[in-house]
Each structure stands twice: as C-alpha cells, then as structure tokens.
Structure 1
C-alpha cells in the first residue's frame, strides 16, 4: 500500500509538470505564436494525464481528458479551426482539467454539473449534437442485428511504403530498434490507444509498423472485451533505448513488450496492407463511455528530430513522466541527451540550507578569532581563513540555487485568474507576462501566490474599465494586465500593471474620511492618498460581489508581502492605469549586510538598500520646525531619521555631525539614516523573530555575528514608515531654496 501511495504521489507531481506544459502551449496558441509542434505538445500533455489517470482508475478524469484530447486531435488534423471561441473553450477546459487533477489528488468529488458544461462546450467545438444520432434512411437497417446503421468517418493511418523502409539504411547516428507490442485487455479498459503510442514513437524517428493478426480467434470464440492484435515495430532513431521505454511507461503491466536493437540489416518484412485506425467513437454523451479510446493519430514517416531550439514549448512524450525534449547546450557538454534531473524531498534541502547557514556562522567566528590574535597580515592561517570564506560563499550560492525556481508556473496560474475575473465582471481582459524565467526562492513563490492572486483580481475588478468606457476613452476594448518579474540589486521586483483608468484619488479620500481613517482636514499628497488603499478594511466597492466589497482589501497583500521581508508600493496615472511594485528578497536564508552601531548596539542593515555613507559638514545640516533635520545634498534636501530614536533608544546628544547612511526605499524615496558607526560589510544568516517575539517595527530579523553576538537586522522601509505614522514630516525630497549650500564629505 505504501508503495502504491508513493507511485500515486509521483503521478500527481508529474501532472503538475504536464499542466504547466499545457498552459504554456495554450498561451502560445492564444498569442498566435504557435506551430504544429505546439499543438502536438498540448495534445500529448493531456493524453499523458489521461494515461496516468487510467492506471489509477480515475474514470472521471479519464473521460474529461479523453474529450479534451479529441478536440485537440481534431485541431491538429485541421478538422476544426482555432477560432477565438475554440481558444476560449480550450483555456477554460485546461482550468477545469487542473481542478479535476486536484480533486483526484485530494480524493474529493468534482462538480458534475460544471464538468457536464465543459463537455458540452468541447462537443460544440467538434460540431457534435449531444442527442443520439437520427435513425438511418430506409434500407439502412441491419437485418442481422436490427440496429440502425450509422456511417462513421475516420482517416486511415498513412504508413510509409515497406519497400522504401527496408531498402534504406539507417542514417548516421541512428540506431534501429525492434519493438514487439501485444496489448492486454486492461490496456484498452484504462483508456489507452496504441495508435497514439505509435505516433509518439514516430516523433522520435522513422517508424515502420507491422500488424500481427495471428492471435485472432474464430468467430464463435471471439470476446468483444478481449485483446487479440499485436504489432511489430521498427524504429530508426538517434534517441537512447530508455526513451523508447518511456513511451510505454503508462502501459507497463498491461501489455507484453520487448524492445531491443534490430539486426544490422533487416530483410524486407512481410507487411500486410496498411493498417487502418480504430474508428472515432460515435457522438454522444462521453460519460456513458468513460474509457472510450482516443481519436487516432496519423502515423507518418518522421525524420530525425531537429536539433535547433523550437519556438514552441518542448514536446511531451506520450506516457512519460513529463519528459521534455531537450537538446544539449554548450554548457551541457553536448552529450546529446536530455539534461538529467533528480527529485529531492524538500525537507532534505531545508536541512542542507540550515547546515550551510551554520557553516557561514562558524566561518565568521573563526575569522573573528583569528583577528583577535592580531596575527601578521601575511600569516598563512589568514590565507586559509579567506579561502574558507570564499568556499563557504560558493557552497551557499549553490545551495540557494537548488531552492530557486522560475516564477513561470506562478505566472501561468495568474492567466486563469484573469480569465475567471473577466468572466465574473463581464469585462474583456488578457494577461501579458514578462520575465518568467526569473528565479526566486521556492518558499517566496509559494507564499506569494495568494497576494498576487488578490492583486490580479483587484486589477481586473477595480483597475480596468468596462468595454463601453474603454471605447469612449479611445482604448482597446480588451484591457491588458501586465505581470513582470526581474532581479534588481539583490531583490526580485514583481510589478502588476493595468491600463485602466487609474486611481480615483478623490473617491479614495472620501471613503477614507467616511471610515474615519483620516481626518477631513488632513493635507495628503497623491502618494499618501494611494497608500490609503493598504489600510485594514479599506474598500471602494459600492456593493458586495464575488471579487470585492467585503472589506478584505490590499492590507492582506501588504501583510503577506511584509511577512516575506518585502515591500509593496503603488503608482498611478489618471487615464493610464495603476502599477503595484512588489520587492522581495531572493532568498529567506542569507543576505549581504552592513554592520553598524546604533546607541551602543550592534546592528545590520541590508546593503542592497544603502546607496552611500556620508559624513556631512555643518553647512549641510538644516533644521525645520523644532525637531526635524534635513540634509542638503546635490541640490536637494533629504529628511534625516535618527535610527536610535525610532527604535526607542535615547536621542543622540552630540553636536558633532552624525554619520549618515543614504538609503533608498522601495517607493523610490531617499532619506538619510543617522547611525553611530559603520564597522564591516559581511554575509549574514537570517534568523526569524516573529515566531518568538512577533512583529517588531523597524526590525525584520536577527543574525549571529562572528563573535557570537546577536545583531538585529534593520528594515529601512519600516523605519521611514514608522516615522510617518508617528506624525513626523512625510518622507519626500525638498527642493532647496536658491543659494542654499549643498555639499557633503563622503566616507
């Protein structure tokens, strides 16, 4: 039982990969950037899910996937046209297929009514009538059985001439394989179709198929549920033998199979007339036949696979574990095979990451101990410690790369959110994604899914105008949501931008005053009004819907992003749209920091937020009011923030010019942090505080230094936010008055 559960878990993991490939292919088809191989890849993804589901008797999933692949097969054989309506049906059917996989994984029933609706839409794509076929004309009645005769349309499989295959020698680099394949009755009962397996083999090279009818019994002994046919196949391909076995993986145990190299020279085989494909099932309710065979795929002579990269997503082999066709790149050594991968339990990776974190702390402690000995700078042990530090950093970066994953699967999920939100609101919307290959820590991706979903729905519901309003404004009736990811200064920046009407700041202010979130006489800048959206319970929706109006606003997004050590900012232009910018750490384990002193305490500030250190002269400091100080630098005034005061320490008394750290927040605002001293720049291991101490304003985490001392990691964004919340001057740049001195001595 434990072994079966393990196999089942592996199947659902492979389904995730197949669904990703399916979404990628459909995305290319929707953008009209596809070719025939893209459609084939989409078809094989659905077929592979169906094949695996049949092995576990997931009949509802098998039935839906079968009808789905029937439409895809008709599309790739040019029987139907890829119209916008068909494309919409394919996208929504892929969403429902993902729901069915998830339901099967959790062993719960899927909505039968919703499934029936999707089956109806798929049947409409084929031009089928759901009612039973009308009786035939007079004379069509079968006198033997008394049934009405129905004409079935199907295409015969087009096999290459046997004499051509026999006389041609394998090309250079090709191996000729002989495959003996005899299905058992259970293979058909699970919804598998040999023709589709043969088509997969044909994609690997040049294929010759011979039908073996020697097992057919007499008419009296014939069992309709039995399996009597077999096939002998000869395949010339540059792929290794293991790839051929992968094509039959989902039918292992359901057939008699032999695969091996063919003799060096094959005589012309005895070949019967061309084998015809099994007829397509009669139109009707597929639920009555959940394991009906799929539509046949033409077996044509295929040349060797092109080594050039495809514009379409890599094709998936029928019955494989989500295997993608890959060609070796220059850095892979040109081995000619796919890049090997290994599944590793995430808990093991986490233990390795923790061990590497302790290794870095240990390295820092050894380095500190060596420094305390005051050895000569050319001492050999110092050289060894430096090598140790570099090696520890290399190990850390390698381990972090194991957890790093591209954001592409997350972005693909957002395409579905846009479709569902557009249908719920009656708007037209599409998602454009950029930077899908950007890699982020796996934990960051998992915990970002919910806030990003909320932002996408918010963009469709509140950001985009309706069709009539967009046409009146001279815009495309279909709105665009742009989702982008990029690396910047040790962080990953994710932006969500819509091309809607922008924020209605007057309405936002009115709502905030009505909810007593701000006073009616408060003077707020545009940026401060925009940030009101992040206050708890704030919503501008006039009525409750499935998407908005329940008081669960963008504060949920902000809290989720803040919990990841990130920040979210908002910008908007009337009539042009709104953009949300999320900044997140690349990893939640290690960072580069600057060690500083504040009020006698050793602390660390992320070096990515520090622009420069400044020792200002007396003429660079200016006062505003009774307590505010401004720094004059490069023709503008920047606010100065006393870190000690923000953290509750006594205010600095010295009249000497302070040491300043010029930092930039995620809202692109610069300010100067007052500190006592800057000691070092080093890599530190992040240790969370929330589980033991809760959220601490101005502090994001802690770390252990080389001397064993615990240092708090400061959050520059939170320090500036706390300053605003405490009633101090808003953080913004001031233009200096004419003739004001501007200059600073830089450390």
Structure 2
C-alpha cells in the first residue's frame, strides 16, 4: 500500500474521530458527562495525535497534544467539567477540525494561539478547574478552606527519620521489538523511538539476534529491537500511550530497572493482515506469549465488529453506471421480444427481478446517512451565536436517514445557507423574545425523512416568521417587482429566493449582500429537487428541501404528449382516469378542474406547459394522471400511457442544459430518448400562471 493511500485512510479516520468528539461533547454539554464519555473523547483525540505524528503533521500533533492534556485532567478528575470548560473544549474542537482540514489540503495551519492559551491556563490550574468541594463550600456561603502556603513534600523530605530507608526511584526499562510486518501497516517504529527519546530515554541495548544473513534479508521487514532506559519521573501511562497503536503487534516489556530481567518473548508468528492506517490497531498476533508487565487491553477481543472495506468512489460510480446500462439493455431485450410476438417468459421475468435486485444493492452501497452533513451544523450554530449574540438550541431528527452519496455531498452548501438564514433573519434577540413571552433561547429544528420515494429535509425555527409587507417593500425597492404587481402571499414568500434580495439592514459576514437563498434554490434545482416555505408571522418559518433519493434510477410511467414521449416519476402518481363528458368544469380562460372523490383538482395540460405542438387539448379525449405534490394534488393531462418501467436518469444539465419543468432524460428500450417531467415545478408554474390570469 502506498503512503498516499495510508494517508487517505488516516484522514478518513480523522473524520470519524471528529464526529465522535462532537457527538460526545454535545452529550457532555446537555448533561453531566460520565467517565466513558470523557474517555471516548480522549481516545479519539489521542488517535488523531498519534496519526499526525506518524505522518509529520507537526501543527496538528502539537494542538492535539495540548487538547489531550486537558482531556486527561478531566478523565482523572483533576478538573471538573464546568460549562465554561465544556465551552472551551467546543472551541478547541473547532480549531482541531481546522487543523485536520489544513493538513489534508496542505494549506497553512489555522490561528490557534487564543485557544492554546486558554488550554494552557486550564492545564496549569485556572478558575474553570476549581475543586468541586471548594466550589460547593463557596456556593453554600461557607468560607472555603485556605490553601496551605508550604510544600508538604519538601517538608517531609527535610525530616531525617532514623532507620527509615529512602524509597528507591528506579528508572524505567522498556524493551521494544516491532512485529516483523510492522511496515505493512504503516507502523514505522522511528517515531516511537523519537517519542521515548523526547521523554529523556536513551538506548542501552540493541537486539540483533533475529537479523538474518544478507541473502535472506527482506528490507521491508523489521528485524531488530531496542531496550531503552527512561527517567523514573516519567509515568507508566505516558510510556504505554506511545505504543497504543502497536501494542498488539509487537513485543513490549515495561518494568522498573531494579526488577528482574523478564524472560525473552518469542517473535510473534506472522499473520496475513489487511493494510490499515497507522491510527488503527492492527490485528493481534497469533500465539503471542504473555509478558511480565502487560499493557492493559482497551477493547474486548471477543467482540467481532462488522467487517467493512473502503472502496474508491470512482469504482462505485462505475458499478452504478454499469447497472444502469444493464437496466436499459434488459428493457431493450423485452421490447425486442415483444415486437416479435414473444409474450412473457419465465426467464425474462427472472432477469427483470434480478436486475432490480442488483440495482437496489448497488444503490444501497452508495447510500449514506445525512448525519455526515448534519454533523457540521452544531459548529455553524456556535459561530452564529458568537456573531449575533443570540441563544440557539438545535434539535436534530432523522440524522440516520440514508440518501445517495452524491446528494449528501451537494446539500452541504444549501443547508448552511438555510441554517444561517434561520438564525440571522428568523430568531429574535433574547431580550426581544422574553418581551413577547417567548423563551430567551430560540429553537432551530433540523429534520430528515423519506417521503414518497424522496428525501425531505426541513429547517424550522420558532422566530418571527416572514414579514410579508416588508418583503414586498424590499422587493419593490430593489427593482425585483413592479410597485403595482398583484402577488399572492405564497409568491411574496418566494421573493426571498430572487437574486439580490435581502432584508438585512446592514452588511455583515453573516448576511446582507443579497446572495444566499437564490443560491440555495439553484443548487437544489440542480439536484432535481425543490424548496418550499411555510411561515406564520410571529411564530416561525419552515424551509423544506425535497430531493431525489438517488440521481441514477427511478420507476416511471411512460406517456405520450403530441409526438413526444415523457416519463412521469411513479412516486408522484396516485391514479389515472378518463373523464366523462360534462365532468370537467371550466376555471379561468384556459383552465379546468375535475371532481375527484369530492375534491376539485386543477387540470394541467403538459402539452401547453411545455409548448408541445399537436398535443391533445380536450380532457375527455385525454388520459388524466392524478399526481401528489407538496402543494397538494393536481392532474396532468397527457395523450396516452405507453408503459410503466424502471428508467436510468441522465442529467440534462451535464449533457445539454437545465430545462425548467424537466428533471432529466432517459433512454427507452427501443432506443428513443424520453424526457422526465419535474412534476413539482410544472404544478407550481401552473398555479402561478392561473393566479396571475385571474388577477388580471
């Protein structure tokens, strides 16, 4: 395995470690942390520090070390987890994330002096870390016990007690022999030797007994061992910490220098291992003999984690593309057999079933929880609290909802804009909230769920909502709409997505430049999704993103409109029907409605909306497809239904250009290209046209 590959695995491990740290810090903030929570945070930071040292990321290693020192004081009970200290750990976590990003990109290290100074203050005894008993006495109104003004250890040392021998302070003797295949796992022993040297250690013996003759020497294997002497002042924990990541694949003996020399431990039997990053412990050696002073195990060896494998995204993309081509080929085969008069055969049905299962399996490999995106939000909230002076409580739901990796990667920016908008424009200042009877702390709720074959992500706040008169006035002021424009409430709400629109009074690093929500809408539409708003003035607003679960394959109904062929996504379809004469009623100059089970639904002519010549204009001679959208149900009028099948989605934006009302294209079994309808956009466009026609 090349060094670059091992480094890439290290950064993946860093991402997982950072996610663990943030999640456990959130638990520590919300409730008194238990020892395991602190230990989990400590282990994650320690892993990042160890990997950073192995790869020479000095700035990352140094900062991790200072953070680790404070965490160690927490887990030993020398410092109390006060709200101030937890807040400092959050700030340190943000800087640590920046250090990891800088190391990964090769950019300059972030400014960390201010946070380092605070960490140093805590490490050397600041007010944040006051003993719990002293704080309790002070809170109870009792005078805290005065600290002793003399050094008790020095006083005892000055007393000469006859017949009492001085306690020996023997140095540490550390015998270390790396496993034969240490280099296969990126386990270069040199950084470990340097760490012992930095602690004041010196080499007193070199074990070359296993070194073979030159003709049998393999340069990529470890053959020698070392014996170090370290000062007695060094703690055993510090020594053991050096070997945390290699303890299971090496011979390691830690003993006091005055103890008997332990029996030599035989070289572990070589086993085949999968190369992993240096920050992850390698598999345990086979038949390793016990050592006199064992490093305590930190994991249950009997617990068998689910096996995983890291695969390059390009390989997954190729797999998904091949499955898509297989779906097209299977459809072509079915079409060809149908043209030759061959009906349904068992083998063809089996092929269709297996193709669908293969497609589902391939897509599930690419699926990822949206948690990876949601995990960024707490830091954004903290930064906004510091920048605005507002108090915000974040509520998260559905973070394990899975969606295609491509969608996960591309919703980060829209989500960031929505969160910033909710805090900056939505929530009031604490004193304002208290004055109107609300809690001083505002709430931002982030949720994700699967709905009708799509993923729905919502960002809701309990702030002041959208002030429609103010939004309209700002739009007129900026020339976005004419002063006499007749707009519905929904259309006024959607003005916030217009380029250049902003209601901020001043320009800041958070808002006011008129860019943000228009970027959100463009990015969401590029994913084949849509964004909606619901707002109640004085109560709050909810922004809803509706996105496809996957950008590759969907089930659809193939329909004809004029001389064109279109696909309606099956997730939107409720039913199809043919109306009888007199059942369709006029509504406006060119619109009609149909009573469907007691509800009058608008009829949308797909031909008229997309400008298709020779499309049928008479509802009673057409097929009406009832569809479900976020705005409610509506009816799409098409000339006829051809088929229902699974189709492979091809991006119009990547291969041609974005077209309003169309979500993509596909290749049918007979080789024809069919366009996929964006049902939500068509319904919204129809509603806007109808309202303006009635208002005129």
Aligned mate of 1:660, from 614, 618, 624: 624
**Given the superposition, is the C-alpha separation of residues 645 and 357 from structure 1 closer, same or farther in structure 2, using an over 3 Å criterion?**
same
Match of 1:186 among 180, 187, 194: 194
Cα RMSD (Å): 3.8
Distance in 2, matches of 1:126 and 1:659, equals 75
Residue 690 of structure 2 is matched in structure 1 by: 728
- Are 1:103 and 2:65 matched, yes or no? no
Q: Judge conservation of contact 1:505–1:530 (CA < 8 Å) in 2.
A: yes
Is residue 476–residue 483 contact of structure 2 (8 Å, CA) maintained in 1? yes
Partner of 1:625: 588
1:133 paired residue number: none
Describe the shift of the 1:555–1:270 C-alpha distance in structure 2 as closer, same or farther (beyond 3 A). Answer: closer
The yes-or-no answer on 1:451 pairing with 2:414 is yes
CA contact 1:211–1:231 (8 Å) conserved in 2: no
Q: Rate the CA distance shift 1:648–1:247 in 2: closer, same or farther, 3 A.
A: closer
Distance 1:603 1:303, change over 3 A: closer
CA contact (8 A) 2:558 2:643 kept: yes
Give the corresponding residue for 2:119: 122
1:364 counterpart = 2:327: no
- CA distance 1:487–1:376, change in 2 (3 Å): closer
Structure 1 residues 198, 374: closer, same or farther in 2, change over 3 A? same
Do 1:513 and 1:520's aligned partners in 2 also have CA atoms closer than 8 Å?
Answer: yes
Deviation at 1:544, TM superposition (A): 0.3
Gaps of 5+ in 1: 131-135, 142-155, 157-180, 217-228, 235-239, 276-298, 306-324, 328-335, 733-747
Cα–Cα, structure 1 residues 539 and 233, in superposed 2: closer, same or farther, change >3 Å? Answer: farther
Tell me how far apart the structure 1 counterparts of residues 533 and 417 of structure 2 sit (CA, whole Å). 15
The aligned residue for residue 91 of structure 2 is: 92
CA distance in 1, matches of 2:151, 2:401: 66
Change (3 A) 1:34 1:359: farther
Any idea what the Cα deviations from partners look like across 1:552-583, whole Å, max 9, x if unmatched? 03111010000001111011122221111111
Matches within 5 A, 1:454-469: 454-469=417-432
Matches within 5 A, 1:464-475: 464-475=427-438
Q: 1:328-727, aligned counterparts within 5 Å?
A: 336-377=303-344, 382-650=345-613, 652-654=616-618, 656-666=620-630, 668-724=631-687, 727=689
Per-residue CA shift, 1:31-55, capped at 9, x if unaligned?
Answer: 3285322211111110111011111
- Assess, with a 3 A threshold, how the Cα gap between structure 1 residues 675 and 199 changes in structure 2: closer, same or farther: same
Distance in 1 (CA, whole Å) between partners of 2:277 and 2:287 is: 16
The number of equivalent residue pairs is 596
Q: CA–CA distance in 1 between the matches of 2:521 and 2:626?
A: 25
Residues 33 and 519 of structure 1: CA distance in aligned 2, closer, same or farther (over 3 Å): farther
Q: In the superposition, relative to structure 1, how do residues 481 and 124 fare at CA in structure 2: closer, same or farther (>3 Å)? A: farther
Residues 194, 534 of structure 1: alpha-carbon distance in 2 compared, 3 angstrom cutoff: same
TM-score for both structures, normalised by structure 1: 0.73
- Structure 2 residue runs without a partner (length 5+): 128-148, 155-168, 170-188, 200-236
Distance in 1 between residues matched to 2:299 and 2:419, nearest whole Å: 43
Structure 2 distance, partners of 1:537, 1:422, is 25
Distance 1:545 1:184, change over 3 A: closer
Separation (CA, whole Å) in 2 of partners of 1:7 and 1:200: 15
Q: Is the 1:49–1:65 contact (alpha carbons within 8 Å) kept by the matching residues of 2?
A: yes
TM-score (norm 2): 0.78
User: What corresponds to 2:231 in structure 1?
Assistant: none
Change (3 A) 1:270 1:375: closer
Q: Distance in 2 between matches of 1:345 and 1:468?
A: 51
Shift of 1:611: 1.8
Structure 1 residue 354, shift from structure 2 partner: 0.7
8 Å Cα contact 1:212/1:230 also seen in 2: no
Shift in CA distance, 115/681, structure 1 to aligned 2, threshold 3 Å:
same
Contact 1:182 1:231 in 2 (8 A): no
Q: How does 1:142-221 map to 2 (within 5 A)?
A: 185-188=193-196, 193-196=238-241, 211-213=255-257
Aligned ranges 1:224-235 → 2 under 5 Å? none
Q: Could you report, residue by residue, the CA deviation over 1:272-301 in whole angstroms, capped at 9, with x for unpaired residues? A: xxx9xxxxxxxxxxxxxxxxxxxxxxx8x8
